[in-house]
Amino acid sequence: MTPLPDTGLFSSEQQRTEQLSTEQPSQQHAQLDEYSTEQLVAAFSVDQARAAQAVQKAAEQLTRAVDLAYARLQAGSGRLVYVGAGTSGRLGVLDGVELLPTFSWPPERLVTLIAGGERAMFRAAEGAEDDEALAEADMQAAQLSPNDVLIALAASGTTPYVLTCVRAARSAGALSIGVTNNPGSPLARAVDAPIELDTGPEVISGSTRLKAGTAQKIALNTFSSSLMVRLGKVYGNLMVDLMSTNAKLRRRAVRLTQHATGVSESEALSALNASAMHVKTAIVMLKTGLDAQAARERLQAVAGHTKRALTNTQQR
């Protein structure tokens, strides 16, 4: 076997990485390869539950991140920019793309970057996470502004691609949020708003696709959903800004409209048809007697907040 070249693999920085809690062997499952199937399922499921606990402990940091992001995005021009590598990058892409059908988040206000490009979503491109030049090129193409919000994800908190993206974002004046599973990591120190999910060692040591990834997914769900509610994408607890792009979602739109207004199915469908299947608009129409155009204008006047639109209309 050809020996590895001396490329700084065991530099002081790399040695520090080896000490990260996510890289440490689990002391609870040293004989994992001898477990029965029942024992394996128990070990993994119990360990995954700790991911939610890590997110709960980061509630104060998540609250601050949501408030800071809302302040940048409420004006209506800023973008959400997700960056990451490997599992973290895929989770960022997943959270971002789901905002479009769930909350009608405008596609032009979303950027999802994963080290190695789109192909890395489907085939591991692990070497790309060390490519700082690639990160610089991706950031240059994204052309961030002070209105944008960067969500940088790295379980280790040391990924060069991600750290380079953060430096570029901060240089552009964008808000930087960092999601990491190692408190005090370089990523946590580099961003404006760190979200530190202290999940500790994994059952399969070093495999951060396990509870570290689960914690990141929960944190992203919490962050983006809270942000969308603040931005007026929900009425009560109803998902009223969805995109009705298939039969299932059209049926859901009818049910949501009925639930919000108390009208019959036919009345709900009639209002939805008049409003291009936009639940928010249909609700305002049915509750105020406005036509579709007037309802849309009323929503636009209050930045899309359904409850505000109804209150303002009723006060006129």
Q: Is 196 strand, coil or helix?
A: strand
Contact 180, 197 (CB under 8 A): yes
Local mean pLDDT, 10-residue blocks, the chain (316 residues)? 43 53 77 94 94 97 98 92 95 96 95 91 77 93 97 95 96 98 96 96 88 97 98 95 88 96 96 95 96 95 94 55
pLDDT score, position 84? 96
Q: Is the pTM of this model over 0.75?
A: yes
Structurally, what CATH architecture does the domain formed by 44-230 represent?
3-Layer(aba) Sandwich (3.40)
Class of domain 247-315: mainly alpha
* Model pLDDT, residue 2: 42
Pairing of strands 175-180, 110-114: unpaired
The pLDDT, as a whole number, for residue 271 is 96
The catalytically annotated residue of 129, 132, 265, 267 is 129
Separation CA 166–CA 185 (nearest Å): 13
- Residue 7 is predicted with a pLDDT of 44
Indicate the residue type of 60.
Answer: E
Residue where the block lists tokens 């793309």 = 97
Please spell the DSSP secondary structure of 56-67, one letter per residue: HHTHHHHHHHHH
Q: Where in the chain is the domain with CATH 1.10.8.1080?
A: 247-315
Where does CATH 3.40.50.10490 sit in the chain? 44-230
Choose, from 23, 98, 136, 267, the residue flagged as catalytic.
Answer: 98
Is 136 catalytic? The answer is no
- 132 included as an active-site residue: no
